[in-house]
Structure 1
């Protein structure tokens, strides 16, 4: 769990970084921690009748989520604009498949393989 939190905080440290590449582990660890926090905040909101907590968190995490998704798409060799698939019906499913693909083993136009760097 500690490693998941480290990856989560790492994404927050790269809040506005839309260039480079992100490993699958970075993206999915961030996504898992984000999901756990979202569920906890939604439960707290329902318990106390204050829906503001999860709404504020959702707004705060929007840009880091898009940034890590763009970097993840770069890792598989796709342009970050593919993240817009999430805006069309059923496009989110295609996007999730892309985000689950293994990254390119060698350097690509977006940078070195993040696995080789770390």
Structure 2
């Protein structure tokens, strides 16, 4: 995981990633969003209208998040468009969380690439 290609993880919609890689990528996006929120709060204390700049900047994390989700859907042999299921109130979000964060990926290669490996390497 330390040798992760971060550019690929957050900008490409091709390929597959494991649950572990998904969680790491999601954690990075959460930290970035928290950082942007803190900057916005600080700017808001200095000059109120500047707090909106941080809110707009946090929208920049949508693209990397969708790229992350698409690769995780690919590991489940589904199109990245399945991310739109999250727009269904409550049940959609629960389904997306289960599929992307909990369910194991397909063990064999599929139309999106070679199998992603989710576990320790056997010697």
Normalised-by-shorter TM-score class: 0.7 to 0.9
Segments of structure 1 that go 5 or more residues without pairing to the other structure are none
2:112 corresponding residue in structure 1: 110
Give runs of ≥4 in structure 1 deviating > 3 Å: 12-16
The TM-score normalised by the length of structure 1 is 0.78
Residues 106 and 18 from structure 1, CA distance in 2 versus in 1: closer, same or farther, beyond 3 angstroms?
same
Write out aligned runs for 1:41-80 (5 A): 41-49=36-44, 50-56=51-57, 58-80=58-80
CA separation of 1:23/1:96 partners in 2, compared to 1, >3 Å: closer, same or farther?
Answer: same
Partner of 1:36: 31
Q: CA, structure 1 residues 16+33, in 2 after alignment: closer, same or farther (shift >3 Å)?
A: closer
TM-score where L is the length of structure 2: 0.76
How many positions carry a matched residue from both structures?
111
Correspondent of 1:24 among 19, 24, 31:
19
Secondary structure (helix, strand or coil) at the match of 1:51 reads helix
Structure 2: state its 5+ residue gaps: 45-50
Structure 1 residue 40: deviation in Å? Answer: 2.0
